[in-house]
Amino acid sequence: MSAADWMARLPQAVKDAPFFRLAIPGSHDSLSYSIRADAPLAPDCPDAVRILERLFGPVTRSILFKWSVTQSLSLSEQLQLGVRYLDLRLAMPAEPRGAARGKETQPHVVHHLCGDEVGPLLADADAFLAAHPLEVLIVDLQHFYHFCSDDHQQLVNHLSGLFGDRLCPYWPGATQEISLSWMQAHGYQVVLVYRCEEVRGLRGVWPGEALASPWPDVRKARALLGFLERGLAARDRRCGHVAQCVLTPRTGTVLPAGLCSDLRSGLAARCNKAVVPWLRARRQQRDHLNVAIADFVDAAFVDAVLNLNCSNPAAAVELPKIADKPHADVYL
């Protein structure tokens, strides 16, 4: 199966299954590769680090940088690898006191440090989708910092202009009714999950409850696997579910270890070494798993997730006919 076109190549029975029963590989803090070592601190940076940054300046930022970047592959490389879920946290840039924010001001990617503007980065996703018209991408906007109501509206307008008719509509019950084949037939390629009440109800915007994403907040692989097992067993099958296959460092661990270690070697490698076999062993239980995300995604992780779609028992589920529903003429 070609990873760049894996959705296009799925068996028809799997395409006809409920979309949120597919096994979909994703990346954690997907655009953090755009963060640089000399970047300013982001709004989500812990207070303890801010104090140290005032005392030690660039040294603190260089340590934090090693633990802020969660992906080494660019967005285009991730999509070519098979990633179909993006996890984003965004912040509006701080303006000088008394200065008005310009209408063209765009939010930046953040993860303790500030990365690039999100608009040009997501343009790469739109270009990929144009070249791969049967692929579908979930864009999950998880966290927002320094946003006002106008900023949310401006961002939705920008994303609507970028993705246009590729945006899949949402309606109550959509999580149980849509399938990949239905989306492909109508040219819908982007599920835009926007976890903020400010934009609820806007066309093409999916609310956060459509895709549950529980955070493990653990530092040991064994604790993580236990959390993931419990979460999958208890997940609500009426909506999507993100299995966050990541370990979370503590500030007290990062700063002492920062000079000789980083997120990849200190946690992510150990985490992925445990997660990939766990995913492979779930093949007989695959109807429980929907989206799985990891730090520093690679071919082994993506393949382990994609292989869960083989012999997919969820394909036996018969979906309601969307065209028979009273809202169908609004969305089709």
What predicted TM-score, i.e. pTM, was given to this entire model? Answer: 0.92
Is 327 catalytic? The answer is no
Burial 283-310 (b: 16+ CB within 10 A, else e): beebbbbbbbbbbbbeeebbbbbbbbbe
- Provide the domain count of the chain: 1
Any domain includes 115: yes
Tell me: the pLDDT tens digits for 153-208? 999 999 999 999 999 999 999 999 999 999 999 999 999 999 999 999 999 999 99
Any domain includes 55: yes
Given 108, 111, 112, 288, which residue is catalytic?
A: 111
The alpha-carbon radius of gyration of the chain (Å, integer) is: 20
Residue written as tokens 């270890």?
257
Any domain includes 322: no
Any domain includes 320: no
Q: Looking at residue 90, which CATH number applies to its domain? A: 3.20.20.190
Q: For residue 265, what is the DSSP state?
A: I
The whole domain housing 55 covers 3-310
Hey, is 210 helix, strand or coil?
helix
Given 28, 152, 241, 288, which residue is catalytic?
A: 28
Tell me: the pLDDT tens digits for 64-105? 999 999 999 999 999 999 999 999 999 999 765 455 566 678
CB-CB contact of 137 with 125 (8 Å): yes
Q: Is the dihedral of CA 156, 20, 143, 111 positive or negative?
A: negative
**pLDDT confidence of residue 332:** 35
Q: For residue 117, what is the DSSP state?
A: E
Query: Token pair for residue 246?
Result: 């990541």
Any domain includes 318: no
Is 111 catalytic? The answer is yes
Predicted confidence band at 280 (pLDDT cuts at 50, 70, 90)? very high
Predicted confidence band at 330 (pLDDT cuts at 50, 70, 90)? very low
Any domain includes 329: no
